[in-house]
Amino acid sequence: MTGPVLSAGTERRAGGVLRLVLGDQISDQLSALSDIDPQSDVVLMAEVRGEATYVRHHKQKIAMIFAAMRSFAGRLTARGVSVRHVRIDDPENSHDIVGEIQRALEATGCKRVVLTECGEWRLAEALKAFADGSAVPVDIREDDRFICSHERFRRWSGDRRQLRMEYFYRQMRRDTGLLMDGDEPAGGQWNYDAENRKRLPKGLQPPIRARTPANAITRGAIADVERLFPDHFGTLDGFGWPTTPDEAEAILDDFLSTILPGFGEWQDAMAASAPWMWHGLISTALNIGLLDPLETCRRAEAAYRDGRAPLNAVEGFIRQILGWREFVRGVYWLKMPDYGLRNALGADRSLPWFFWSGETDMTCVADTVEATRTNAYAHHIQRLMVTGNLAMLLGVDPDQVDDWYMTVFADAFEWVEMPNTRGMATFADGGIVGSKPYAASGAYINRMSDYCGACRYDVKGKTGDRACPFNRLYWGFLERNRSVLAGNARLAMPYRTLDGFGEDRRRALLAEAEAARLALGAVPKAASPR
Ligand code: FAD
Ligand code: DLZ
Ligand code: SF4
């Protein structure tokens, strides 16, 4: 490869518009493309090391993004659009998005740049700085693939004392009409979680899931990633992510037609060696633009209206996309950049090495990390109640927690990763995303999974080396963070229990938790070998 792949006539387009498409903007409906003139404009796509290495993304994530960009470039070219596609192995590649815009302006003679705002603060700032100093006009457009605009979220958040997803979600239901019967929520309730959250009964096997076989373009991207990013996290053998809209549609079809009816009931269940359960496996496709979130919700609603899936499942699924996904994105843009510095619990320990290696006797953690290495995926409850809960109970520095979540998942983009990690999972944001920490002992994991039976640790044990580490850590976590958490009304019960223990026992629980933290490798950062 000697230079950018150019479709015919791309070389000089004096007077045309240069339209940037980033690796997570793979969509015909992208605002940057809405008024494209194929006669004069050029679409720029650039595979750059800057984006591929600002964290050491899972190999599958890089392969998925490169493959999706290459396929999209091909589809646009086939429609007569001029595309300048800079490949990762182009010797003149500047390996920086802004650098590639500048090179493309020089090469094409385009007189204007149009782009869709990008999803991460880091790159958004770089693009804003470029726009401010640019000799040609730069038009940064809103990303209208999201259901809730920045302006709508700001208006909703207004001067509310607290931002709560449930109220935001109800507003989104009203705004979109999704699952509404007139002014009322379908079925008379906004939320059917009381019917969900069941433990998997013995003998019920999670369904076998359709994955996407790698097409020729994806296979090429996988080979490039293996060659160019060998030391990144994870393996490529289990790659199964869609990289084209058709492939993404096929995964969504399979989910809606056969899996969705079980989504609600088993939404919070976990099982060993069962990485997918009844989850949608669509976050990568939604996040990079292969699926449209509103359309996805409408199709799920149609499954309910046609009697193909029960309301508890469909409402639960729509709430994740219309509610949580839009809510965390709104919080991210409302609160950044301060949000990325929040550390409400003063967590300062280093992340234990087994988060990367999976080498731990904690069956629930080992299974989650192994699934993540193989699939670049863990389902929500594994992310929240296994790795997230453990990182919070250990008091791991939120920067290291963020780095881990950004690195290991194919769907990780900071706008969605950070509020989930700093907010929902570890309470580092002090209660912006969630009203209380999701701290739980081993009893929760035991109730919702089959992990504990096969574990070396005793899920009923409270103290000592054989006791489940979640139990050893739980009360010490509450005691350690008393000054921040004890005033939280939703934690009144556990703090009452803790207070009933008396001072000596509380001191012993703190010591027990500290011993567990050190034994697991959550040491003060200065003492960390890394
Ligand atoms: P399903 O369970 O089938 O849910 C359907 C869709 O709902 C998902 O595809 C996703 O788009 C949306 N959704 C569900 N829960 C959330 C949520 N809490 N926030 C935002 N969207 C949600 N999701 C990401 O897309 N990228 C991340 O980097 C990410 N990091 C997370 C980190 C932590 C600590 C936690 C607790 C959650 C994180 N999530 C993240 C949210 C959620 O776990 C994933 O979206 C989900 O596991 C993706 O798998 P799925 O498509 O099978 O989801
Ligand atoms: C994640 C990613 C990766 C791995 N590589 C590229 C790339 O080479 N070129 C590109 O345009 N985008 C890439 N991306 C996606 C960007 O990181 C993403 O657009 C920003 O982080 C904003 O969300
Ligand atoms: Fe996880 Fe504790 Fe159960 Fe082991 S006993 S699987 S560490 S919850």
Amino acid 308: pLDDT:
96
Residues of the chain with pLDDT under 70: 1-3, 5-14, 526-530
Token digits for 319?
Answer: 């709430």
Mapping DSSP onto H, E and C, the string for 208-261 reads CCCCCCCCHHHHHHHHHHHHHCCCCCCCCCCCCCCCCHHHHHHHHHHHHHHHHH
Residue with token string 């002090």: 430
pLDDT in tens, 449-471: 999 999 999 999 999 999 999 99
Which of 272, 281, 320 has the alpha carbon at shortest distance from 454? 272
Nearest atom in ligand 2 to 118's CA: 22
Q: Measure 199 CA to ligand 2 centroid, in angstroms.
A: 38
Bridge partners, residue 185, by sequence: 180
pLDDT at site 13: 63
pLDDT at 197: 84
Q: Which protein residue has the closest C-alpha to ligand 1 atom 42?
A: 380
**From the CA of 461, which ligand is nearest?**
3
Nearest CA residue ID for atom 23, ligand 2: 119
Query: What is the rounded CA–CA span in Å between residue 461 and residue 439?
Result: 18
pLDDT at 159: 83
Pocket probe for ligand 3: among 199, 470, 474, the residue whose CB has the most ligand atoms within 8 Å is: 470
Are 7 and 41 spatial neighbours (Cβ–Cβ below 8 Å)? no
HSE-up of residue 28 (Cα within 13 Å, Cβ side): 11
* pTM, full prediction: 0.97
Q: Which ligand has an atom closest to residue 408 CA?
A: 1
User: Is the C-beta atom of 468 inside 6 A of ligand 3?
Assistant: yes
Question: Six-digit token pair at 300?
Answer: 């799920």
Instruction: Please give the radius of gyration of the chain, using alpha carbons only, rounded to the nearest integer.
Output: 24
**115: which strand partners?**
20, 140
The whole-number pLDDT of residue 525 equals 81
Give the tens place of pLDDT for each residue, 166-203.
999 999 999 999 999 999 999 999 999 988 889 889 88
287 CB near ligand 1 (under 6 Å): yes
The predicted pLDDT at position 278 comes to 97
CB 434 within 8 A of CB 424: yes
- Spatial neighbors of 165 by CB under 8 A, at least 6 apart, are 323, 324, 327, 433
Distance CA 435, CA 495 (A): 16
Which ligand is in closest contact with the Cα of 471?
Answer: 3
pLDDT at 1: 45
The answer, yes or no, to whether the previous bond of 337 is cis (omega within 30 of 0) is: yes
Looking at residue 7, its pLDDT comes to 60
386: Cβ below 6 Å to ligand 1? no
Residues 6+ apart with CB under 8 A from 339: 331, 332, 418, 419, 422, 429, 432
CB of 320 shorter than 6 A to ligand 1: yes
